[in-house]
């Protein structure tokens, strides 16, 4: 209710107001139809022309009432539609805002991901549904009160009969709505699998491989198989729900016709007027519908409530409090230090980093070398606080990273990962993402593009820097792998104010000559900055001041290219191997 009210107080007010009046009117219509029948009967017996006129007036009154009911119903559904749109936007916004506060490890955890997708799938429609049903219930209850008041003249037992006849249907709703929700939750994993398969078959970035490996039929078969499994369960529930609903609903119908019989019997024996009979029959029929609707609304509200609590469960998912407020280190100019750092991924067994000690001074260029899985990227993730060390500390300017204000920290560190994002934005914006403050600055795009060598090809594109990239949107252009990497590198050059620039294998698809050129620029542009470079190309690695060799999460060698070659250890071995390949 609070959510709906906060979304739009004025619409919520009208919704409430119309509900109350729309609830009271059907009783009035029933009463007027009694007046009408009685008036017609009287008029047809006597000769008094005033009676005729009275009957016509009653018709007019009923017309006015019916038009009013229609107007109120229309108003209600309009308010409902508008509220639904606003509420859905608001709930989606809440879900996305929450998603933005989650840490990387939350996204890597299937359980949290399940909650997120459950919330996104249903929760945006459920809060309004819950509120609509609550108001619907209120409306029906008000109608029932007026019907009850009218019926009381006939017999109090009639009121009891009206209420009791609806109970069996209610029992069915209550029993099955919980089950429907449990099924929904339980199927969540499979529904996501299905959505994933659908994406594999229908998205442009996957289509190449799906076609060439002829994966299509296999994926489609899996997709269908999951559907049929889910469908079996859903069908089972739907059939049982409607079967029981029908059987127990018969009780209500029998009760209703029992009441009809009773009313007709009383009318036949002239204990009530024909007008009364018309009204009671109407009241019974509508009352019955109102009772059934109210009771099933309660059952469905229970179900809605389960979904909404699911949404709140997600929204209240604990996030690591954003700690730290330092905007300056205790020893400015100290650079980056890793002190006895060990790190284990959540749920993983071994150490991804195992006792790393490292010091990087301002202006220093560091290269990380090691086999796949030796911990290079993990080290970068700790440096950027995407994860926190399990043991030991990472310090920037003498202050541990967790004590830094996160925005300041992220501003000071610029990273281009090997799996950088290829945004389906303008090519200029794809460079601009490197610095949100200058996201749209064409001038900055250009100077960064010159250093990242993407300026070589961007002006040739149909719209220059304004060219749309990707295939999802109109006139989108695709770039080659190397061109994309140049765009990503240019992002790094957007961050000329950051103190640390990290390049995690971003040049694998760029030809060796261009790479050397880029790194010359890079050295020049980052003369004052710390730079960390991960690369498998020794021609690039050797340009670093310090080279660190990682193996199994441990630093096994450290020094300049010359020193390490002199040492004749692992680095020298790897270097020799690559050099041999070129000879
Ligand atoms: P590199 O960058 O040197 O190739 P990584 O730092 O990515 O290696 O990986 C180091 C180790 O941590 C590997 O054994 C890898 O399997 C593991 N690892 C990497 N990312 C995750 C993750 N998100 N969850 C669990 N284990 C991970």
Question: What average pLDDT does this structure show over 216-241?
Answer: 93
**What are 103's two structure tokens?**
């840490």
With the most atoms of ligand 1 within 8 angstroms of its CB, the residue from 106, 108, 375 to mutate is 375
Contact between 24 and 65 under an 8 Å Cβ cutoff? The reply is no
Strands 546-551 and 554-559: antiparallel
CB atoms within 10 A of CB 406: 14
β-bridge mates for residue 504, sequence order: 534
For residue 555, the surrounding DSSP H or E stretch is strand 554-559
Question: What average pLDDT does this structure show over 79-89?
Answer: 88
Greatest mean pLDDT among 304-308, 319-323, 383-387: 383-387
Contact between 124 and 215 under an 8 Å Cβ cutoff? The reply is no
Question: What average pLDDT does this structure show over 371-388?
Answer: 91
Q: What are the C-alpha distances in Å from 109 to residues 103, 113, 312, 575?
A: 10, 6, 19, 38
pLDDT at 582: 66
- What's the CA-to-centroid distance between 553 and ligand 1, angstroms? 10
- Sorted by sequence, the CB contacts under 8 Å of residue 279 that are 6+ apart come out as 30, 31, 33, 34, 37, 150
**What are 471's two structure tokens?**
């295939």
When pLDDT is cut at 50, 70 and 90, the band that residue 240 belongs to is very high
- What's the CA-to-centroid distance between 384 and ligand 1, angstroms? 15
Q: d(Cα 258, Cα 250) in Å, to the nearest integer?
A: 12
Contact between 284 and 162 under an 8 Å Cβ cutoff? The reply is yes
Q: Is the pLDDT of residue 583 over 80?
A: no
When pLDDT is cut at 50, 70 and 90, the band that residue 130 belongs to is confident
Q: Is the pLDDT of residue 212 over 80?
A: yes
CA nearest ligand 1 atom 26, residue: 345
When pLDDT is cut at 50, 70 and 90, the band that residue 354 belongs to is very high
What pLDDT digit, counting tens, does each position of 48-70 carry? 788 888 888 999 999 999 999 99
CB-count exposure of residue 66 (10 Å: 0-12, 13-18, 19+): middle
CA nearest ligand 1 atom 8, residue: 373
β-bridge mates for residue 337, sequence order: 359, 395
DSSP 327: S
Contact between 137 and 298 under an 8 Å Cβ cutoff? The reply is yes
When pLDDT is cut at 50, 70 and 90, the band that residue 578 belongs to is confident
Q: d(Cα 550, Cα 573) in Å, to the nearest integer?
A: 14
pLDDT at 23: 86
Question: What average pLDDT does this structure show over 125-138?
Answer: 81
With the most atoms of ligand 1 within 8 angstroms of its CB, the residue from 373, 549, 554 to mutate is 373
**Of the candidate ranges 10-14, 124-128, 281-285, 336-340, the one whose mean pLDDT is the lowest:** 124-128
Question: What average pLDDT does this structure show over 461-470?
Answer: 92
- What's the CA-to-centroid distance between 570 and ligand 1, angstroms? 21
Alpha helix ranges (H) inside 102-215: 104-107, 110-122, 126-152, 156-164, 167-186, 188-202, 204-212
Contact between 38 and 51 under an 8 Å Cβ cutoff? The reply is no
Strands 554-559 and 413-416: unpaired
pLDDT at 74: 93
What pLDDT digit, counting tens, does each position of 4-56 carry? 888 899 998 998 889 888 888 888 888 999 999 988 888 888 777 888 888 88
pLDDT at 469: 92
What pLDDT digit, counting tens, does each position of 477-533 carry? 889 888 998 899 899 888 878 889 898 887 777 877 878 777 787 788 778 889 999
Question: What average pLDDT does this structure show over 61-80?
Answer: 91
pLDDT at 269: 94
Quote the mean pLDDT of the chain: 88
CB-count exposure of residue 228 (10 Å: 0-12, 13-18, 19+): exposed
Which protein residues are within 6 Å of ligand 1, measured from CB?
108, 345, 348, 352, 370, 372-378
Q: Is the pLDDT of residue 133 over 90?
A: no
- What's the CA-to-centroid distance between 534 and ligand 1, angstroms? 14
């Amino acid at each position: 209710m609070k959510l709906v009210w906060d979304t739009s107080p004025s619409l919520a007010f009208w919704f409430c107001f119309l509900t109350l009046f729309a609830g009271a009117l059907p009783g009035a219509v029933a009463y007027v139809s009694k007046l009408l029948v009685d008036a017609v009967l009287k008029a047809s017996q006597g000769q008094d022309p005033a009676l005729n006129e009275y009957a016509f007036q009653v018709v007019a009154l009923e017309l006015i009432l019916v038009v009013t009911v229609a107007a109120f119903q229309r108003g209600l559904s309009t308010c409902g539609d508008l509220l639904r749109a606003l509420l859905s936007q608001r709930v989606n916004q809440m879900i996305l805002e929450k998603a933005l506060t989650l840490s990387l490890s939350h996204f890597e955890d299937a359980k949290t991901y399940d909650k997120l997708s459950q919330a996104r799938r249903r929760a945006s429609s459920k809060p309004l549904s819950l509120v609509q049903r609550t108001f619907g219930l209120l409306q029906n209850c008000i109608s029932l009160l007026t019907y009850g008041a009218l019926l009381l003249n006939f017999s109090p037992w009639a009121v009891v009969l009206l209420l009791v006849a609806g109970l069996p249907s209610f029992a069915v709703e209550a029993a099955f709505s919980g089950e429907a929700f449990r099924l929904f939750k339980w199927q969540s994993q499979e529904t996501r699998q299905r959505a994933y398969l659908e994406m594999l078959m229908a998205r442009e970035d996957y289509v190449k491989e799906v076609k060439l490996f002829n994966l299509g039929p296999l994926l489609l078969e899996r997709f269908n198989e999951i559907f049929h499994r889910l469908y079996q369960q859903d069908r089972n529930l739907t059939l049982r729900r409607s079967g029981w609903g029908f059987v127990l609903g018969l009780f209500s119908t029998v009760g209703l016709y029992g009441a009809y019989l009773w009313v007709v019997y009383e009318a036949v024996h002239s204990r009530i007027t024909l007008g009364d009979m018309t009204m009671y029959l109407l009241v019974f029929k509508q009352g019955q519908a109102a009772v059934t609707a109210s009771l099933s609304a309660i059952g469905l509200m229970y179900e809605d409530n389960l979904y909404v609590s699911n949404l709140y469960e997600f929204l209240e998912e604990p996030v690591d409090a954003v700690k730290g407020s330092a905007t300056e280190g205790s020893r400015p100019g100290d650079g980056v230090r890793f002190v006895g750092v060990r790190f284990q991924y959540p749920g993983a067994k071994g150490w991804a980093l195992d006792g790393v000690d490292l010091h990087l001074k301002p202006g220093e260029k560091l290269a990380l070398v090691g086999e796949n899985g030796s911990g290079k990227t993990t080290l970068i993730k700790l440096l950027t606080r995407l994860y926190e060390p399990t043991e030991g500390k990472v310090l920037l300017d003498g202050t541990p990273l967790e004590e830094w204000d996160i925005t300041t920290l992220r501003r000071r560190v610029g990273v281009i990962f090997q799996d950088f994002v290829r945004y389906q934005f303008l090519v200029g914006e794809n460079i601009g993402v490197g610095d949100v403050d200058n996201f749209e600055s064409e001038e900055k795009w250009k100077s960064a593009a010159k250093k990242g060598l993407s300026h070589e090809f961007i002006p040739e594109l149909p719209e220059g820097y304004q060219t749309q990239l990707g295939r999802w949107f109109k006139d989108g252009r695709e770039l080659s792998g190397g061109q994309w990497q140049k765009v990503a590198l240019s992002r790094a050059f957007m961050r000329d104010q950051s103190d640390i620039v990290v390049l995690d294998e971003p040049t694998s698809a760029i030809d060796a000559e261009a790479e050397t050129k880029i790194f010359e620029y890079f050295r020049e542009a980052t003369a004052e900055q710390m730079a960390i470079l991960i690369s498998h190309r020794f021609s690039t690695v050797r340009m670093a001041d310090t080279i660190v060799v990682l193996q199994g999460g441990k630093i096994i060698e450290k020094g300049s290219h010359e020193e390490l070659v002199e040492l004749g250890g692992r680095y020298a071995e790897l270097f020799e191997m690559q050099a041999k390949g070129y000879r």
